[in-house]
Structure 1
Amino acid sequence: MKLPKWLLSPFTTLAERYYPEPFVFAVVMTLLTLVCALLATDTTPAGALQAWGDGLPSLLSFTAQLSITLLSAHALAHTDQVQRLLKKIGGIPRNASAAYSLVALTAGTASLIAWSLGLVVGAAIARHVAIECSKRGIRVHYPLLVASAYGGFVIWHMGYSASAPLFVATEGHSLQAEMGIIPITETIFTLNNAVLAGIALAAVAILCPLMRPDEKDIIEVDRALLDEPSNNEVTSQDVCQTPAQKLENLRPLSASIGLALLAYIAYSFHQKGFYLTLDIVNWSFVAAGLLLARSPRHYVQLIEGAGGAVGPIILMYPFYAGILGLMTGTGLAGVISDFFASVASAETLGMAAFFSAGLINLFIPSGGGQWAVQGPIFVEAANLLQVDHSVVVLAVAYGDQWTNMIQPFWTIPLLAIAGLKLRQIMGYTVMIFLVTGVIFSAGLLSLGSG
């Protein structure tokens, strides 16, 4: 059983013909934001230009964190031990339908641990599944495999690296006076959130096989990948190594700094309690990579291999920071959020926050950045309507992750590893966007009525 071609064809055709590459998308969104700001607010062209320019460097520190996250997650996913594990997982499917579902489930599970791990592991498992299936004569559509991996990413903001829930759980956060501290046991560690994440991921795992194309339209993985040359240079063990080379190839040296990082993380948890920040996630990935790498030199080679996945992000994120500056500096983000908050009731406030976050995510693909923009407005609305603050926190988180399925920014590392173009997967992710939108909406309505 699969979806009728007439249902899926419009999405794939539109994506293939009209969906621009991520950098062009960022430029178009910048211009669209500028026009909307001039039309919807009382800002002047000079004021809008100033807000945009002031915003460009505003997320440079976050860009650095983001780059380290992707570099370290990419390196970890390409260590010998993790690659062997992924290869074993890749050999599990016995038919094409199982392959699509397995990729979605694996990427989704990794995304719940950390969004960056979900993207990197998703791309890696898609490649391994495609390669192993090809070796066994199972024909799978490689673009759909990669889309399945990205589909698993749709639940990342319901897991351990969830930006908005972690923000409001942190002592001294900017909205503490208005809403207090909300521990993660009331947001991401609730039964409702876990059940909804499970339903959404199961729906993606069921939907992806239903979107498989006809046999004549299948695009298999590049045959050159079947040989799978090692992406890691073999460390020389020549007895004529210089002292410097011996030091570079000394595994205990890289392992010792990895252990030091783990000790720091453990001590931090002991001092402050268990909490996750992007820095903690980063050092966890770096520590694990250093411990699994063959040597310091090998770890550097793994990091160098991630350059293609990180370079475009470094280029584009300042432009999204400019959009953030434009939306906040001109008041456009407030206009959008105010509109949704003003038409909501106590029962529908979560839904309003969800759709508002989904819309703003197209302009600002950052969970933390979105909460900074929308949090004050929806917390105030929650206070007026006497709605539990955890509802709006989760609603903003769900909206942020939901429209990632049609926002191409986070496909960059995934596609860099998979070796595909955006337009090859976006038609499938639009369908995932529609299905999960219904699921998240229903879940938030249930929370609001409860």
Structure 2
Amino acid sequence: MRPINTLVERYIPSALVFVIVLTVIVAILALTLTDSGPIDVVRSWGDGLAGLLAFMTQMALVLLLGHILANTSPVHRLLGRLSRVPKTALQAYVFVFVIASVASLITWGLGLVVGGLLAKEVAAQMRARGIRVHFALLVAAGYSGFVVWHMGYSGSGPLTAATEGSFLAEQLGRTIPLSETTFSLWNISAAIATIIIVALALALVAPRRQNDIYELSFDAREAEVAEEPVTTPADRLDASRILTTLVGLALVAYLVVHFVEGGTLTLDIVNWTFLALIFLLVRNPFELIRLTKDAASNVGDILLQFPLYAGILGMMTGTGLIGIFSDFFVDISTAQTFGVFALLSAGLVNFFVPSGGGQFAVQGPIMLDAAERLGVDPSIAIMAVSYGDQWTNMIQPFWALPLLAIAGLKMRDILGYTTVTFLAAGLVFVVTMLLVSL
């Protein structure tokens, strides 16, 4: 595990540097592999910068709302009750992973925060009972739940393909309903299998010797935040639950009307679902404002990097580079092996484009074009990229940063264990792609 830790700490730069380097690489490839000149490349890059603004906002909201939801008082109390469930150290590791996986399947923003918060809650409960648990493995188990996020309710690839007018839907000439991707029997089965196999793997590598266990020596749970003072009529409005409840009920009414009238699940509907829950769960506007301020710091990376991802997509489409990449995958793949090659390539690309939404903007059109030419169902291409994205997140530090900040650890503290998750989940993903392509 030590060589992997050293590699990450010493040689893997920030996500922002990744996207800048990727921009340069794509520009060089466009100049050398296509007939485009420097002016053509610059123009296609600049024209593409604004191409994903709506998608960028949707992705930012997924993270923002997931973070807010995980930190509402009812969810915090629920995590406190759940933390009392495991009775042994081994149960604690598996339990944290399973709960974080379920939260990630609901929404990836929620899963990331729940993983860190629950790890701290369980560590405090175990410490109070005199049971020693390895805190780094608890946190790694919480982050490992993120390995199934793209199979769930907030998966950006499947939701984008299901959204009318999205760049994937425009390329396909139609939308792909979630019944063919997220809610397909084979994807649900793969998600369950992944959770079971990874849980067993984490249990197998859990430290048994007391000298190998480094427990949290203090209670790392956040202290209760004091209520805002209420001294003026304006303060009474800010401290009233009536207004937030009204907005929450209005959002629920809209969602009911949307689905009754035959509306489908899209990225926007997912976000409005979580927004409705937030307005119904917060005590008052005071709490919502505080939670929003706390969550906003995690959104900056998305807002900064997505225009650069859009510029990369603009270069690839504007210069014809996307067609060359598509030809390559058609040449090396058959209808039966395409899913595995798409999965492996997506896992590699995720090192350079760690955002699932950003990766679909860059890689999605290439894989869909190649799948069409090979006669492969587009749902397989979409889920193969989804699996590859979530898979190498386990050895790519970008999305671990919010959780590590909550837990107070560094990537090297958990990477050895998340590498085990990477290997176990990868086995399930490869087998799934082979079976679904038969």
How would you bin the TM-score normalised by the shorter chain?
0.7 to 0.9
1:283-332, Cα deviation, whole Å (9 max, x unpaired): 22222122111111121112122234334444444444455445555555
CA distance 1:86–1:49, shift in 2 (3 Å): same
Q: What residue number does 1:3 align with?
A: none
What pairs up with 1:297-376 in 2 under 5 angstroms?
297-329=286-318, 334-376=323-365
CA distance 1:171–1:20, shift in 2 (3 Å): closer
C-alpha distance in 2, partners of 1:326/1:139? 54
Structure 2 residue 244 is matched with structure 1 residue 254: yes
1:148-186, Cα deviation, whole Å (9 max, x unpaired): 222111111211222333333345565568575433222
Conservation of the 8 A alpha-carbon contact between 2:330 and 2:374: no
CA distance 1:41–1:135, shift in 2 (3 Å): farther
Structure 2 residue 430 is matched with structure 1 residue 441: yes
- Secondary structure of 1:76's aligned partner: helix
Structure 2 regions of 5+ residues with no counterpart? none
Name which of structure 1's ranges 98-107 and 391-400 shifts more when overlaid on structure 2: 391-400
The one-letter code matched in structure 2 to 1:208 is L
Shift of 1:200: 1.0
What pairs up with 1:177-192 in 2 under 5 angstroms?
178=172, 180-192=174-186
What pairs up with 1:95-110 in 2 under 5 angstroms?
95-110=88-103
CA distance 1:77–1:380, shift in 2 (3 Å): closer
1:353-392, Cα deviation, whole Å (9 max, x unpaired): 2223223333333444444544444444444433333322
Q: What residue number does 1:154 align with?
A: 147
- Secondary structure of 1:225's aligned partner: coil
C-alpha distance in 2, partners of 1:414/1:341? 39
RMSD across aligned C-alpha pairs, in angstroms? 3.0
C-alpha distance in 1, partners of 2:375/2:350? 26
Structure 2 residue 257 is matched with structure 1 residue 267: yes
Provide TM-score, normalisation by structure 1: 0.85
Q: What residue number does 2:110 align with?
A: 117
C-alpha distance in 1, partners of 2:258/2:109? 22
Identical aligned residues as a percent: 49
C-alpha distance in 2, partners of 1:97/1:359? 32
Conservation of the 8 A alpha-carbon contact between 2:160 and 2:267: no
Shift of 1:20: 3.9
Q: What residue number does 1:392 align with?
A: 381
Shift of 1:256: 1.0
- Secondary structure of 1:63's aligned partner: helix
The one-letter code matched in structure 1 to 2:204 is L
- Secondary structure of 1:432's aligned partner: helix
CA distance 1:135–1:13, shift in 2 (3 Å): farther
Structure 2 residue 214 is matched with structure 1 residue 225: no
Shift of 1:432: 2.0
The one-letter code matched in structure 1 to 2:328 is F
> What is the number of equivalent residue pairs in this alignment?
436
Q: What residue number does 2:191 align with?
A: 197
Q: What residue number does 2:204 align with?
A: 210
What pairs up with 1:73-88 in 2 under 5 angstroms?
73-88=66-81
The one-letter code matched in structure 1 to 2:176 is I
C-alpha distance in 1, partners of 2:100/2:431? 24
CA distance 1:338–1:100, shift in 2 (3 Å): farther
Shift of 1:426: 3.1
Shift of 1:202: 1.4
